[in-house]
Copies of this chain bind each other. A is one copy, B any other.
Amino acid sequence: MENACKHLKTRGIKPSYQRIKIFEYLLRNRNHPTVDMIYRKLVPRIPTLSKTTVYNTLNLFIEKEIASIIIIEENETRYDADTSVHGHFKCRKCTKVYDLDIDLSKIDIPMLAEHSVTEHHFYFKGICKNCR
């Protein structure tokens, strides 16, 4: 809890109890959760929590660059405390989202050089190693 608190402070985020708990959830569960998943897990212990608070808190984390947004499906926004460049693979069968290490030096897309790129998103779908 102290670590999460410290991390929020260094990014200029006032560390309220709810914010700390939401950030801790993201750090501990690398499961790319939706607002709903986080809300359902935390509300038994924080009865005053609302989905709007979870949503606003995650948007604050994104603005302050301590979390990133993953949009693979329409109407299913997920969040990730890992803000480094990496990719995602979503299994159509078990719906699990896997992280993929990505070495940008091994990604050759010549047309990208024309623009000034600040965000890289790579996602893939199919059947995962455990389901096929």
Contacts and interface: CB of A to CB of B under 8 A. Distances in A.
Interface of A: 69, 71-74, 77, 87, 89, 91-92, 98, 100-103, 106-112, 114-129, 132
A103 B110 CA distance: 10
Closest 10 CB pairs of A and B: A106-B108, A119-B125, A117-B126, A118-B126, A114-B129, A116-B127, A100-B111, A116-B126, A121-B123, A115-B128
B114 A103 contact: no
Contact of A103 (B100, B103, B108, B129): B108
B116 A132 contact: yes
16 contacts: A71-B74, A87-B109, A89-B115, A89-B117, A92-B118, A98-B115, A106-B108, A107-B108, A114-B129, A115-B127, A115-B132, A118-B126, A119-B124, A119-B126, A121-B122, A121-B123
A74 B75 CA distance: 8
A98 to B, nearest CB: 7
Contact of A71 (B71, B92, B106, B119): B71
B100 A112 contact: yes
B119 A121 contact: no
